[in-house]
Amino acid sequence: MSLPGVMNSLESASFLDKEGDAIHRLLGPALDGSAIGGVLRGTFVGHPIHPALVNVTVGAWTSAVVLDLAGSESKAAQRLIGLGLVSAPPTLATGWADWSTRGPRARRVGLIHAGANAAGVFLFLASFMRRRTRTDAVAKGLAIAGLSAAGLGGFIGGHLAYSVTEDESSVGAHRA
């Protein structure tokens, strides 16, 4: 199966509907139509703010991995990982707020996107904790794995933002 085919198949992953519906029932009342939901969705600027916040989180983590690969500045790398971890909660909150307004196809893809990103957060948290005592190959490997998971999450997020539609006849169509 082609990569676009794999991405499109995520939209049909109906086995995620039960969990997605449960999360939507939990988040919907707090986010849909509320002032806090509007702020998290970026209504005050006229577009979602999740993509902008992602740049802070992933940018910090990417910079940390670059420093690790360069073999220097381990304290700076730890601080950058910390910045990414501190910026992750508002980034996640804005993503869930956007997710709560989408239809079933987008929510399926969004759950997989969130899962990959959650793995990234936990791997970076493990790297950060390890670095409290030593910066070694394990700490650096956890960061590389975390960036890989976040990168996969970002790739899926790109599909979610630009290709997912609730119209069955246009599945896989690029919507810019």
What pLDDT is stored for residue 44 in this prediction?
A: 93
**Pick from 150, 96, 98: which is nearest to 122 by CA?**
150
Kindly state whether residue 12 falls inside one of the protein's structural domains.
no
Mean pLDDT within 71-99: 95
Kindly state whether residue 88 falls inside one of the protein's structural domains.
yes
- Encoding tokens for residue 129? 């904790």
Domain of 38? Answer: 17-168
User: In total, how many domains does the chain have?
Assistant: 1
Q: Is the pLDDT of residue 105 over 80?
A: yes
Mean pLDDT within 98-104: 92
Residue that has been written with the tokens 């220097």 in this structure: 72
Q: Is the pLDDT of residue 174 over 50?
A: no
SS3 of 96-128: the string is HHHHCCCCHHHHHHHHHHHHHHHHHHHHHHHHH
**Are residues 48 and 55 in contact, defined by beta-carbon separation less than 8 angstroms?**
no
pLDDT tens readout for residues 118-173: 999 999 999 999 999 999 999 999 999 999 999 999 999 999 998 887 654 444 44
What pLDDT is stored for residue 34 in this prediction?
A: 85
What pLDDT is stored for residue 29 in this prediction?
A: 86
Kindly state whether residue 84 falls inside one of the protein's structural domains.
yes
- Encoding tokens for residue 132? 């409290």
Kindly state whether residue 21 falls inside one of the protein's structural domains.
yes
Kindly state whether residue 1 falls inside one of the protein's structural domains.
no
Kindly state whether residue 11 falls inside one of the protein's structural domains.
no
Q: Is the pLDDT of residue 85 over 70?
A: yes
pLDDT tens readout for residues 31-67: 888 899 999 999 999 999 999 999 999 999 999 999 9
Q: Is the pLDDT of residue 84 over 50?
A: yes
The whole-angstrom separation of Cα 119 and Cα 121 is: 5
Kindly state whether residue 147 falls inside one of the protein's structural domains.
yes
What pLDDT is stored for residue 135 in this prediction?
A: 92
Q: At 176, is the pLDDT very low, low, confident or very high (cuts 50, 70, 90)?
A: very low
Kindly state whether residue 41 falls inside one of the protein's structural domains.
yes
Read off the amino acid at residue 124: F
